Structure 1
Amino acid sequence: MIQQRPLIERLPQVRGRLTAGASLANVTWFRVGGAAEVLFKPADLMDLQGFLARKPDDVPVTVLGVGSNLLVRDGGIPGVVIRLGRAFTEVRANGTTITAGASALDLNVALAARDAGVAGLEFLSGVPGLIGGALRMNAGAYGSDMAAVVASATALDPHGRLHKLSKDELGFTYRASAVDPDWIFIGAELAGRADSPQAIQARITEIQNARAESQPIRSRTGGSTFTNPPHRKAWELIDAAGCRGLTVGGAQVSEKHCNFLINTGTATAADLEALGEEVRRRVKAQSGVELHWEIKRIGVPADSPLRVKTESEA
Structure 2
Amino acid sequence: MNIDGIRGKLTANRSLAELTWLRVGGAADYLFQPADVADLQHLLAQLPAQTEVFPMGVGSNLIVRDGGLRAVVIRLGRGFNSIEIAGDLVTAGAAALDAHVARRAADAGLDLTFLRTIPGSVGGAVRMNAGCYGSYIADVFVSAQIVTRDGVLREVTADELKFAYRQTAFPEGAVLVSATLRAPAANTTILHERMAEQLKKRDESQPTKERSAGSTFRNPAGFSSTGRADDVQDLKAWKVIDDAGLRGASIGGAQMSEKHSNFMINTGGASAADLETLGEDVRKKVYANSGITLEWEIKRVGEPLFEQSK
Give yes or no for TM over 0.5.
yes
Q: Indicate the SS of the match to 1:221.
A: strand
1:262 to 255, 261, 265: 265
Distance in 1 of aligned mates of 2:172 and 2:239: 31
CA deviations on 1:188-223 (whole Å, 9 max, x unpaired) are 111112222111101111111111111111100011
CA deviations on 1:43-64 (whole Å, 9 max, x unpaired) are 1000000111111112111111
| Equivalence for 1:39 | 31
1:222 to 197, 206, 213: 213
Aligned counterparts, 1:1-314, within 5 A: 8-9=1-2, 11-119=3-111, 121-230=112-221, 231=223, 232-305=235-308
Q: Is the 8 A contact 1:114 1:201 kept in 2?
A: yes
Higher relative contact order (CA 8 A, sep 6+): 1
> Which structure 1 segments of 5+ residues have no match?
1-7, 308-314
Identity within the alignment, %: 51
Runs of 4+ in 1 over 3 A off after TM superposition: none
Whichever residue aligns with residue 226 of structure 1, its letter is F
Q: Is the 8 A contact 1:126 1:142 kept in 2?
A: no
1:12 shift after superposition: 4.2
- Deviates further, 42-51 or 52-61: 52-61
Distance in 2 of aligned mates of 1:217 and 1:274: 23
Whichever residue aligns with residue 138 of structure 2, its letter is A
Q: Indicate the SS of the match to 2:207.
A: coil
| Equivalence for 2:226 | none
Distance in 1 of aligned mates of 2:197 and 2:159: 32
Q: Is the 8 A contact 2:248 2:258 kept in 1?
A: yes
Whichever residue aligns with residue 86 of structure 2, its letter is N
Q: Is the 8 A contact 2:66 2:305 kept in 1?
A: yes
Q: Is the 8 A contact 1:229 1:291 kept in 2?
A: yes
Q: Is the 8 A contact 2:98 2:121 kept in 1?
A: yes
| Equivalence for 1:310 | none
Distance in 2 of aligned mates of 1:178 and 1:77: 22
Figure out how many residues of one structure are paired with residues of the other and give that number: 298
Question: Relative to 1, partners in 2 of residues 1:100 and 1:114: Cα closer, same or farther, differing over 3 Å?
Answer: same
Distance in 2 of aligned mates of 1:124 and 1:171: 20
Q: Indicate the SS of the match to 1:276.
A: helix
1:85 shift after superposition: 0.8
Distance in 2 of aligned mates of 1:86 and 1:118: 24
CA deviations on 1:128-162 (whole Å, 9 max, x unpaired) are 00000001100011221101111111111110112
Q: Is the 8 A contact 2:149 2:172 kept in 1?
A: no
The two structures have a TM-score, normalised by structure 1, of 0.93
Q: CA-atom RMSD, angstroms?
A: 1.2
